[in-house]
Amino acid sequence: MSDLREDVAWWSRRRVVAIGVISGGVLIGLVAPPVFRIEPKSRPIVVRRSVPSGQSASAPTVSFAGVSWRDYHGVLLPYSAEDGPRRTDDDLAAGFTQTPRGALLAAIHIAVRANVQWGSKVFEPTISEQVIGPDTETLKDSTNESYGRQRGDRPDGAALGRGYVVLEAFRWQGYSPEATSLDLVSAGPGDSDVTARAVTRIQLRWQDGDWRVVAPPGGTWAGAASPIESSDGYVRFRGGGG
């Protein structure tokens, strides 16, 4: 019985550090972790989406030559003159090539911006125009609700503050010119000065001349994320990421 209690306590701590800080957005470290009280009877099961049917299981090599990393409110993001984003007005990002590197860049930029941290002026148009799938409206509603709870006396639409996260690595789950699935590893501050890491499954579809992110299960990024100990086995970002 004591072993079970210790096991549950360990998972509760990991969920607070990793899943808790993901629930407000896709990446850990973007928002301060809320206090969660979790009392599971057994180890929680993390729901992960499978690769869409018909998608190639290939894992193409992506070169980071010519990719520059720029600060986006505290988070370094990759940019390519060749593969995108080609449009960055109003703090948004769109215009990616139908290539493996274009898909990877789109996954990062869209997922980061579909986050409560940057305010409704960023996450609302990002979700409305660049997120697709049956859970899109739920994602928009839950993000708006989270923003309303955290905004305080800030002007409507204003950002909540800077982000504190590093994009460390990624791994393909499958790629084709029409549909893509990958895992993105991010790291941020955890409890007791320990770095917390999480991996988030991001799926994309090529639609209307650009990549669109498929909304996560249930309209919450926690349904597509889980804590990990390290980024071993993933492709590390170079030149600005992890």
Three state DSSP letters for 21-87? HHCCCCCCCCCCCCCCCCCCCCCCCCCCCCCCCCCCECCCCCCCCCEEEEEECCEEEEEECCCECCE
Q: What is the pLDDT of residue 222?
A: 82
Residue 17 has pLDDT above 50, yes or no: no
- Mean of pLDDT over the chain: 80
Categorize the per-residue pLDDT at 217 as very low, low, confident or very high, splitting at 50, 70 and 90.
very high
Which has more pLDDT, 16 or 78?
78
* Distance (Å, whole) CA 179 – CA 190: 34
Q: What is the pLDDT of residue 155?
A: 95
Residue 31 has pLDDT above 70, yes or no: no
Q: What is the pLDDT of residue 28?
A: 54
Q: What is the pLDDT of residue 30?
A: 55
Max distance between CA atoms of the chain, in angstroms, equals 58
Residue 74 has pLDDT above 50, yes or no: yes
Residue 47 has pLDDT above 90, yes or no: no
DSSP three-state, residue 125:
helix
Q: What percent of the chain has pLDDT over 90?
A: 65
pLDDT in tens, 81-102: 999 999 999 999 999 999 999 9
Residue 39 has pLDDT above 60, yes or no: no
pLDDT in tens, 94-133: 999 999 999 999 999 999 999 999 999 999 999 999 999 9
pLDDT in tens, 161-175: 999 899 999 999 999
